[in-house]
Amino acid sequence: MGTLENVLDHPVMVRLARSRAATRLVNPYSPVRDSRLRAAVSGRTVLVTGASYGLGAATARRLGAAGATVLLVARTAEALAGTAESVTAAGGTAHSYPCDLSDPEAVKDLASKIEERHGAVDVLVSNAGKSIRRSIEDSYDRFHDYERTIGVNYLGPVRLVLALLPGMRARGHGHLVNISTIGALIPPGPRWSAYQASKSAFDVFFRSAATEAACDGITATSVYMALIRTRMSAPTAIFDNVPGLTPDEAAELVCRAVVDRPRRVSPWWAGLAEVGFTAARWPWEVVAGRLFAAGRNRGAVPAGRSATRAEEARQ
C-alpha cells in the first residue's frame, strides 16, 4: 500500500489536481468588481504586511489600483521597493516601510512612523508569515525554528494590532483582516508543528480581539486560505499536485474581505472539514501517523540546513 505522496504523484492525480476545474472546485473565488473595490478603499489608508512577494504584493497592487494609499511592510527592503514601484507604475500610491515584525522595537518604531505620517490606518491586512516544514526529530536541536515562527506569525502581528487598534477605535471605524490558513481549522499534520501552532495562536487572538473591538465599530475578517502557489509553498513538492490559487486569484479573496467585511472567508468545504475531522479525530491521527512513518522524512528539510525559501516567504 503506497503512501499519500505515492497516490498524489500518480500521473492521473497530477493532471486532475492541476486542472482548472479542480482548482475552481477546491478553491472557488469570484473577482471583486473594480467599482465596488474602489468605493470601499479609494482615499483610504491600507497597511499590508508581507507585501514584498506573493499574496501580499498582489493584494497591494490590487488595492493601489483601486485608489487606496497602500502602506507596504516587509523585512526585505529591496523587494518591498519593487512592489511599491509596481503600485505607483499603475497609478497608485504606495509607501514602503521595511520592518522585521519579530523585532519588538522595530514594530514600535513602525507604528510611530505610520501614526505620525498617515494618522490612523483604515484597514490592516496581517499577511506576513514564516513557514517551516520539518519533522519533530529534525527539530530536537532547533528550538529557534519555533521562536522564529512565533515571532513572525503570532507575536509580531499581535504587536502591530495592539499598536494600530487604538487609532481605529478612537475614530470609531476600521477593518482588520487576518490571512490565516486552512490548517487552523483542521487537525494538525506531521512536519507542520511550528507553522500551524503559531498561525493558530494568532487566529485565536484575532478572533478574541475582534469581539471586543466590535463594540467600537471595528470589523474583522479571518481569511482561511488553502494552497496558494507562492515562494512559501514552492519548496514542498507534494503541493505541486494539490489544487491551488495564484497570488492574484487569492488577492481577490482578500479584496472581498475588505469590501464585504464578513467575519470569515474560507473554501466551501472548510466547515464540513471542521465537523468531519472533529468527529474523526482519532482515526485521522492514526492514519496521519502511519502515512508519516511510511514516507518518513521524504521531502523534509534536513536538520542543520539554514533558512530555506519556504522560511523566507511572505516576509
Local mean pLDDT, 10-residue blocks, the chain (315 residues): 48 57 69 96 98 96 98 96 97 97 96 96 96 88 94 97 97 97 83 91 97 97 85 57 81 97 89 66 57 53 41 44
Task: Supply the pLDDT for residue 299.
Answer: 46
The CA distance from 21 to 96, in Å, is 38
Alpha helices in the chain (DSSP H): 4-8, 11-17, 20-26, 34-41, 54-65, 77-89, 104-118, 143-150, 156-171, 193-213, 247-260, 270-279, 281-294, 309-312
Helix (H) or strand (E) holding 45: strand 45-49
Task: Supply the pLDDT for residue 310.
Answer: 42
**Among candidates 248, 254, 235, 26, which has minimal Cα distance to 131?**
235
CB 277 within 8 A of CB 182: no
The CA distance from 130 to 153, in Å, is 6
CB 126 within 8 A of CB 177: yes
Task: Supply the pLDDT for residue 47.
Answer: 98
Which residues contact residue 244 at a Cβ distance below 8 angstroms, ignoring those fewer than 6 apart? 23, 27, 226, 227, 228, 229, 233
Task: Supply the pLDDT for residue 304.
Answer: 41
State the cell numbers at 266.
Answer: 474560507
Task: Supply the pLDDT for residue 199.
Answer: 95
- Residues labelled catalytic: 195
Q: What is the pTM of this model?
A: 0.81
CB 123 within 8 A of CB 46: yes
